[in-house]
Structure formats: C-alpha cells, structure tokens
Amino acid sequence: MRKTPPKKAIFLRHRRRCPDPAADASGLTRRTTILLDLNTVVSELDSMATSVPIDAPWTTPRAAALDSQSLETWLESKTQNPRLLVLASVATRAIFGAEPREVSLLFTLFYVAAAGDEKTPGTFERLFNTRNGAQMFRFVGGSQTIPLRMASALGPRVLLNQPVRSVTQTAAGVRVATDSSTVSAARAIVAVPPTLAVRIVYDPPLPPLRDQLTQRVFQGSLIKAEAVYDTPFWRAQGYTGTSIADTTPANTTFDNSRRKDRPGYSSASSAATPGGLPAALRRQPTPGGAQELRHLPRFPGAHPA
C-alpha cells in the first residue's frame, strides 16, 4: 500500500471551475465562509457517533428516533448554509452512493463510528480523507488481487457464472442449487448484499425479521471508471488529483496511479443524484465509459484541459 501525497484539491460548483488552495487533501475547503458551520455540524455528528455500539447499533440511546429521520433533515436543522449542504450531499453520494435524504441518521452515525479503530475514534472526515482516512491507501494491483489470489489458491472449487438459486437445509447440512449444479455442505455462508440475498429461495424460509430486513435494506448506486494518462501530471502542478463536483456525472476523482512517474490513473466515481440514479445511468451509454470520462477535463490541474 502507498500513501497519497498531501497537496491541493479541485472543486466544481455549478459547473464553474474552482481550484481551491485553501482545501486540504480530503477536498474539504477551509474557507471561512463555511468553516464555522462545517466544524459545528461535523463535530456534533462525530460526538453523536461515539454513543453508537458498532456491533449492535440498534441499542444506541434513542435509536428509533435517530433512525426515523434522514441525514438530510438533520443537516437542515443544523445549518442553512447552502454551500455546506451542497458539500454534504456530494460527500454522502461518494460515501454511500445515495442522497442524504435516503440515509437515516442512525445509519450515518453507525458508519461514522465504524470508521474508527482500537486507537482512533471514527469521524466523518475519516470516511473520505486522503490523510489519516479511508482514501489514504490503495492496494498495489487493485483490491481485486485479494479474490483473484484466493481463487487461484482454491482452484476448481471456485465456480464462476453459477448464481445460487436456492439454499435448502437438510438433516446432513445444506444443499445449494444453481441453474446447472447442486452442492452439499455442512454449512453455507450467504456473503452477498441483502438486496441480492432476497432473490434466493430458502427452505425452510428465513426467520421473519431476517426476511423483512433483506426486503427493506436500501442499496446505493455507484459507477466507477478510470482515466489513464501518460503521467500523473497533476502532482507536478501541486494537486492531489482529488476533485469534487456537485452537478456533473463524475462527482469525485482520486489519484489512483500505480507508480511514481507513469502511467497516471484518475479514478472517477458517479454516484446517486437527485434523480435517484448515477447521472451516467440516466444518459445514453457511450463506448468505453466516455459519458463519465468526458467530464474529467473540466477539472483544471487534476486533468488536462
């Protein structure tokens, strides 16, 4: 893993280019126009998150009340600063693949709490910071190297293009069926998102609470693409490669370059929008992800003009 160098970030506000030398590596501006509101709101969010047990968030004090309001309603009750609300929306899209109105306050607090470890409490900024945060490191070769190497070690026991259709408990254990094969085992671990797990037929049926959970858990929307350049030229210009936008399909970008000098990789994310889906999904698809990547030149310094 490698650290991301601390430099400057880029903003795009209403499609207007706003390179911000006052921004830190997380992309959060330090301009005084929103600094006070930002510190107040984020500090309160971080403080509330300390009361959330990450292994049982439903036992949080006033859990039902926290879960009954969205992150958006809570933010609007704390600030009317439009710049801060826009920034919060962009951050929420990048983190959850959803709009602030689609994420409950309790889930947000749980997610913030889970960003900590044994020595450092979780904070909202740790979720997307490129210094001392979730975006600080990258896997050399990409995170896909983990399942690829696991599959290599397991060999023919890994079956591809075999979606599970049913899981049946038997006297001897479990029987898992696909469209073309059946596998018996002592136990089965259903390690797929709840929205996909609900498509599997279970015999006997899942317990009612678990069944209702898989029907109701919300899944965000997120598309990622990478632009490849001869060199990560933005570094020489004093930029991190981090950019944030509120209206274009590419909401955020990060420097994802493999080596020090070449080539240069910019990882772009298109997350949920007011329409409920990534903007890239609501337009006519173009070959090679061009719909999303064509917006990258709007960011000066981070991408070529």
CATH number at residue 168: 3.50.50.60
CB 156 within 8 A of CB 20: no
**DSSP letter assigned to residue 124:** T
pLDDT band at 24 (very low <50, low <70, confident <90, very high): very low
> What's the confidence (pLDDT) of residue 175?
98
Give the lowest-confidence range in 14-23, 103-112, 163-172, 261-270: 14-23
> Is residue 239 situated within a structural domain?
no
CA distance 86 to 58: 29
CATH number at residue 84: 1.10.405.10
> What's the confidence (pLDDT) of residue 300?
46
| Predicted confidence (pLDDT) at residue 38 exceeds the cutoff of 60 | yes
In terms of domains, do 115 and 174 share one?
no
> Is residue 79 situated within a structural domain?
yes
Average pLDDT value for residue range 91-117 = 91
pLDDT band at 278 (very low <50, low <70, confident <90, very high): low
Task: Indicate the pairing of strand 182-185 with strand 201-203.
Answer: unpaired
List CB contacts of 195: < 8 A, sequence separation 6 or more. Answer: 214, 217, 219
Look at 222 and 284; give whichever has higher pLDDT.
222
In terms of domains, do 96 and 179 share one?
no
> Is residue 262 situated within a structural domain?
no
Q: What percent of the chain has pLDDT over 70?
A: 76
pLDDT band at 146 (very low <50, low <70, confident <90, very high): very high
Q: How many domains does the chain have?
A: 2
| Predicted confidence (pLDDT) at residue 176 exceeds the cutoff of 50 | yes
> What's the confidence (pLDDT) of residue 7?
57
Average pLDDT value for residue range 161-169 = 96
> Is residue 243 situated within a structural domain?
no
pTM above the 0.85 mark?
no
| Predicted confidence (pLDDT) at residue 143 exceeds the cutoff of 60 | yes
Cα distance from N-terminal residue to C-terminal residue, the chain = 30
> Is residue 198 situated within a structural domain?
yes
> Is residue 189 situated within a structural domain?
yes
CB 232 within 8 A of CB 265: yes
Look at 150 and 80; give whichever has higher pLDDT.
150
Average pLDDT value for residue range 130-150 = 82
Q: What is the mean pLDDT of the chain?
A: 80
| 91: containing domain | 30-129
In terms of domains, do 46 and 118 share one?
yes
